[in-house]
């Protein structure tokens, strides 16, 4: 049986260092995988929503121009004067309507003539009919 005995070069060496290295390496790979999995999937994700400050209010419109205000006030005064003149004319025409209606024989109306055949209230220019002879 000495013939079947392996020579010292062919004698198997101990496998314990390979087994121990494989176990330690596998454990390290397993630990790295678990740590990476926890980091990617199970770590608390903190989403801090930062509220932006409110935008500043728009700048206040500049005040009205003094010249424009003066021009508008002058225009309002002119319009009030024109309105007053029109109201006076309306009142005069309403007063003249209270008189008798003019007819073909008496175009100025019966009550509109005072003493001497002249109208009691003066008619505005162009309101009296022209007489043709």
Mean pLDDT of the 73-92 span: 96
pLDDT at 97 over 90: no
DSSP H or E segment with residue 74 = helix 66-97
What's the pLDDT band for 115 if we cut at 50, 70, 90? very low
Residues near 6 by Cβ (< 8 Å), separated by ≥ 6? 12
Instruction: Please calculate the CA angle 32-38-44 and round it to the nearest 5 degrees.
Output: 145
Which residue did the predictor score with more confidence, 120 or 133?
Answer: 133
pLDDT of residue 116: 46
Contact (CB, 8 A) for 121 and 113: no
CA atoms within 13 A on the CB side of 51: 2
Each domain of the chain, given as residue ranges in start order, spans 66-104
Helix (H/G/I), strand (E/B), else coil: 131 = coil
Confidence label for 43 from pLDDT (cuts 50, 70 and 90): confident
Nearest to residue 125, comparing CAs of 85, 98, 89, 100? 89
pLDDT at 100 over 70: no
Output the pTM of the full model. Answer: 0.33
Alpha-carbon distance values, 110 to 96, 107, 131 (Å)? 12, 9, 17
Q: Three-state SS for 119?
A: strand
Residue 127 confidence class, pLDDT cut points 50, 70, 90: low
Q: H or E stretch including 49? A: none
| pLDDT at position 39 | 86
User: Over 80: is that where the pLDDT of 47 sits?
Assistant: no
């Amino acid at each position: 049986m000495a013939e079947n005995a392996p020579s010292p070069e062919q004698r198997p060496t101990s496998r314990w260092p390979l087994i121990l290295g494989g176990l330690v390496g596998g454990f390290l790979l397993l630990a790295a995988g678990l740590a990476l999995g926890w980091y990617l999937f199970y770590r608390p994700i903190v989403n801090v929503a930062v509220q932006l400050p409110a935008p500043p209010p728009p700048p206040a419109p500049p005040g009205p121009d003094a010249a424009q205000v003066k021009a508008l006030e002058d225009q309002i005064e002119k319009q009030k004067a024109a309105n007053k003149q029109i109201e006076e004319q309306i009142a005069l025409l309403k007063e003249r309507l209270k008189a008798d209606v003019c007819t073909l024989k008496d175009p100025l109306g019966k009550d509109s003539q005072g003493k001497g055949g002249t109208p009691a209230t003066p008619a505005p220019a162009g309101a009296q009919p022209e007489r043709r002879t």
